[in-house]
Amino acid sequence: MKLKINARTSEYIAKGFIWGAAMSVMIVLVAIIVYILVKGLPVINFSFLTTNPYNMGRSGGIASTIVGTIYITVVAIIIAVPFGIGTAFYLAEYTQENIITRIIRFSAESLAGIPSIIYGLFGYIFFVMYMGMGWSILAGGLTLAFMILPTIIRTSEEAIRAVPHIYREVSFSLGGTKWQTIIKTVFPSAIQGIVNGIILSIGRCIAETAAVIFTAGSVLSMPGSLFDSTRTMAVHFYILASEGISMDNAYGTAALLIIIIFLINVIVNALVNRFISKSK
């Protein structure tokens, strides 16, 4: 009898603890987001988004940093996506497990765990110095491409492996070649998962600071070409906040970042849900 009571008590305690932990995480998340939004949303208006910062960012808007962020993200995605998807198809479709796939997968997973500051160091020494790109959108974008490559490889490989094997058998049995099977059957079925990975990577590019600050620099003027230095929104926020230049503009930038990240998450979830309901 005594044992039964203990079991029940510990059940209640454990349950209470787990609920408590989960709820406090929610509260912290809400606290962070609400705080930034309450302080930052009033700052955001049309002119904040469309005028360039001046006086170190003390006044004006953040237009050039938005443009810089977009440029860098686009460069990173354009470079990383074909390599990431190509690698994923190689891993999922072209080999059985062997020493080469093991090396590739180990590399991809190791790349995924490397801190972004290491990417920053690498981008600085390789792209900025060795390749002579200087602090530039190109160097920053390429560095981020290296950084998001493992994410794209992993999400794409998972999406490709999730395509039922029977689809491939059907395509082959209808006289399809390997290439036709991949293009006409596997790729369309996996595209949703692949796109999710890409969108997540876009989010990582936008949010990244350490890897871009040493590779793209922090010039505030509107970038004219890929070889110009630029300052992304995240870097701009960091400099404004840590050097105490303008708290208002810092909050505004942070609020905009959070809104963008939130939208990206909403899009990914909508895609995933549509995918799940479609496959049901």
Partner 1 sequence: MKKFKENLSGRIFLLFALSSISALALITVFIVVRGIPIISDVGIMDFVFGMNWAPTEGEYGIFPMIVGTVAVSLGAGLIGVPIGLCCSIFLSEFAPPFITTVFRPAIQLLAGIPSVVYGFWGLIFIVPLIRDYLGGPGLSILAASIILAIMILPTVVSISEVSLLALPRQYKEGALALGLTHWQTIRCVMLPAAKSGIVAAVILGIGRAIGETMAVIMIVGNAVAMPESILDPVRTLTTNIGIEMGYATGIHQEALFATGIILFVVIMILNATAQYITRKKSG
Partner 2 sequence: MSENNIKIEIKNFSFYYGQKQVIHDLNLKIHKNEIMSFFGPANGGVTTLLRSLNRLFELNHNTRSEGDILIDGESIFDPDASVTELRRKVGMVFEIPTPLPLSIFDNVAYGPRLNKKKSKDEINEVVEQAIKQAALWDDVSDRLRAPAMSLSGGQQQRLCIARVLALKPEVIILDRACSGLDPISTAKIEESLTKLKKQFTIVIAPHNVQQAMRISDRAAFMLMGYLVEAGADIFTHPQDQRTDDYITGRFG
Interface residues toward partner 2, by CB under 8 A:
96, 166-177, 180, 184-185, 188-189, 278
The option from partner 1, partner 2, none interacting with 188 (CB < 5 to 8 A, set by class) reads partner 2
Query: In sequence order, what DSSP letters do the residues of 154-211 get, joined into one string?
Result: HHHHHHHHHS-HHHHHHHHHTT--HHHHIIIIIHHHHHHHHHHHHHHHHHHHHH--HH
The option from partner 2, partner 1, none interacting with 250 (CB < 5 to 8 A, set by class) reads partner 1
CA distance 93 to 142: 27
Which CB, 90 or 167, lies closer to partner 2? 167
From the number of C-beta atoms within 10 Å of its C-beta (0-12, 13-18, 19+), residue 239 rates as: buried
Which CB, 117 or 170, lies closer to partner 1? 117
The option from partner 1, partner 2, none interacting with 132 (CB < 5 to 8 A, set by class) reads none
* Torsion sign over Cα 112, 114, 118, 122: negative
Q: What is the dihedral of CA 177, 179, 183, 186, to 10 degrees?
A: 80
The residue count of the chain comes to: 280
Which CB, 98 or 242, lies closer to partner 2? 98
Q: What is the dihedral of CA 138, 141, 142, 146, to 10 degrees?
A: 170
Which CB, 136 or 185, lies closer to partner 2? 185
Q: Output the smallest distance, CB 169 to partner 2, in A.
A: 6
CA distance 204 to 195: 14
> Could you count the other beta carbons within 10 Å of the beta carbon of residue 37?
17
The option from partner 1, partner 2, none interacting with 111 (CB < 5 to 8 A, set by class) reads partner 1
Q: Output the smallest distance, CB 247 to partner 1, in A.
A: 9
Which CB, 83 or 172, lies closer to partner 2? 172
Q: Output the smallest distance, CB 79 to partner 2, in A.
A: 31
The option from partner 2, partner 1, none interacting with 185 (CB < 5 to 8 A, set by class) reads partner 2
Q: Output the smallest distance, CB 46 to partner 1, in A.
A: 23
